[in-house]
């Protein structure tokens, strides 16, 4: 199986990564590596939380300072870096279907999530019934992204210098 992003893109910085370890094979403590992918660009990238859904796809949240060449998909919610020292990122990566970025399995996505300030993704949960991802983190952005047709409760205002955020990212269907 080919990973989503097969090459390290961090230069002297770090990339996040996803590893799937299979069931024990044979005798002894041998657990095969069944999937590996990098997830990052030229800046420092850090995966902070991961959840696996019922079809074996990895839902990942983290923080990136990669202003360019971060592997966002063409159908990403936010295709460009928002600004500040970092943006949160959210990814859904199939670990059981083949495909390589930019030709990804149906349903896979990687997106920036951030405004003009510093944003960090710290936690993710997956709704087992509808497949939506709930992403949590912190933001220093007065223009943090909100759903189309909705505005932030107090646009352009932070209470203090940093606020928490929770964002729901709707499910995408798999084509098997």
- Is residue 69 domain-resident? yes
Tell me: the pLDDT tens digits for 50-92? 999 988 899 999 999 999 899 999 889 999 999 999 999 999 9
- Is residue 158 domain-resident? yes
- Is residue 54 domain-resident? yes
- Is residue 1 domain-resident? no
- Is residue 174 domain-resident? no
Q: How many domains in the chain?
A: 1
End-to-end CA distance of the chain: 16
At residue 89's C-alpha, the angle toward residues 83 and 90, to 5°, is 150
pLDDT more than 90, % of the chain: 55
- Is residue 2 domain-resident? no
Query: Quick check: helix, strand or coil at residue 65?
Result: coil
Full domain range(s) for residue 122: 16-169
Task: Specify the pTM.
Answer: 0.86
């Amino acid at each position: 199986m080919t990973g989503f992003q097969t090459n390290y893109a961090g230069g002297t910085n770090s990339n996040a990564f996803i590893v799937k370890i299979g069931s024990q094979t044979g005798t002894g403590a041998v657990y095969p590596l069944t999937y590996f992918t990098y997830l990052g660009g030229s800046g420092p990238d850090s995966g902070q939380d991961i959840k696996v859904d019922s079809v074996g796809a990895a839902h990942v949240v983290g923080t990136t300072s990669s202003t360019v060449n971060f592997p966002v998909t063409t159908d990403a919610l936010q295709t460009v870096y928002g600004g500040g020292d970092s943006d949160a990122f959210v990814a859904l990566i199939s670990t059981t279907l083949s495909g390589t970025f930019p030709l990804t399995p149906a349903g896979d996505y990687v997106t920036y999530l951030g405004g003009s300030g510093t944003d960090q993704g710290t936690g993710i949960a997956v709704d087992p019934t509808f497949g939506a991802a709930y992403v949590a983190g912190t933001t220093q952005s007065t223009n943090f992204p909100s759903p189309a047709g909705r505005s932030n409760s107090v646009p352009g205002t932070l209470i203090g210098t940093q606020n928490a955020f929770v964002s729901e990212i709707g499910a995408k269907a798999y084509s098997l």
